[in-house]
């Protein structure tokens, strides 16, 4: 195997592409705006108005779906790390 090929990172995605992220955490009044700020840091063209919100049946948790225009695997990796390390976030899918 050539050195170039062994250093190549494979991705099943073709960039740019629309990529939905599902972010879940405790239901907090500022959850959507806080998460939007994190997403915009990594995807500046993200429109906060496109966030889809869903509360859990008892209202304790909130799920946000943020669809970003991903330009690279590195961008998605950085965004995923920023979201998973945020104190308001429990799970990112």
32: nearest Cα among 56, 12, 49, 15: 49
Split at pLDDT 50, 70, 90, the class of 9 is low
Q: What is the mean pLDDT of residues 5-17?
A: 73
Domains by residue range for the chain, with CATH: 13-92 (3.30.70.260)
What number of CA atoms fall less than 13 Å from residue 30's CA on the CB side? 5
**Stated pTM of the model:** 0.87
For residue range 48-86, what is the model confidence (pLDDT) as tens digits?
Answer: 999 999 999 999 999 999 999 999 999 999 999 999 999
User: Taking 80 as the threshold, does the pLDDT of residue 1 lie above it?
Assistant: no
């Amino acid at each position: 195997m050539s050195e170039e090929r062994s250093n190549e990172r494979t991705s099943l995605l073709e960039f740019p592409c629309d990529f939905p992220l599902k972010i879940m955490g405790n239901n907090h009044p500022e959850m959507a705006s806080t998460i939007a700020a994190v997403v915009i840091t990594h995807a500046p063209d993200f429109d906060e108005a496109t966030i889809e919100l869903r509360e859990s049946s008892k209202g304790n948790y909130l799920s946000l779906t943020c669809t970003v225009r991903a330009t690279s695997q590195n961008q998605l990796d950085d965004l995923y790390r920023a979201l998973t390390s945020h104190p308001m976030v429990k799970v990112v899918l």
